[in-house]
Amino acid sequence: MDMMISNLQQQRQVTEQLRREAAIKRISVSQAVLEIMKYITEHEQEDCLLVGFSSQKANPFREKNSCTLL
């Protein structure tokens, strides 16, 4: 009897979860993708790994030049 009750509870949880998910409002893939693309193009210039640095001096991890003592 206990087994039955916990199985029932489990099934109820699964079904309630699906009900919640079914009620979500969705937008079309084309619209969703356009919005992601918009975000990316708006932020592309700040993306150092993508566009690089105007000069390597601006790169905090640039190769350190070794100095020689004359």
67 or 70: CB nearest another protein: 67
Minimal distance, residue 50 CB to another protein, in Å: 6
Task: Report helix, strand or coil for 2.
Answer: helix
Minimal distance, residue 6 CB to another protein, in Å: 11
**51, 45 Cβ separation under 8 angstroms:** yes
21 or 70: CB nearest another protein: 21
Contact set with another protein (CB under 8 A): 4, 7-8, 11-12, 14-15, 17-37, 39-44, 46-50, 52, 59-63
Looking at this protein, which amino acid is placed at residue 65? N
Tell me the CA distances in angstroms from 49 to 29, 45, 52, one per residue in order: 28, 10, 6
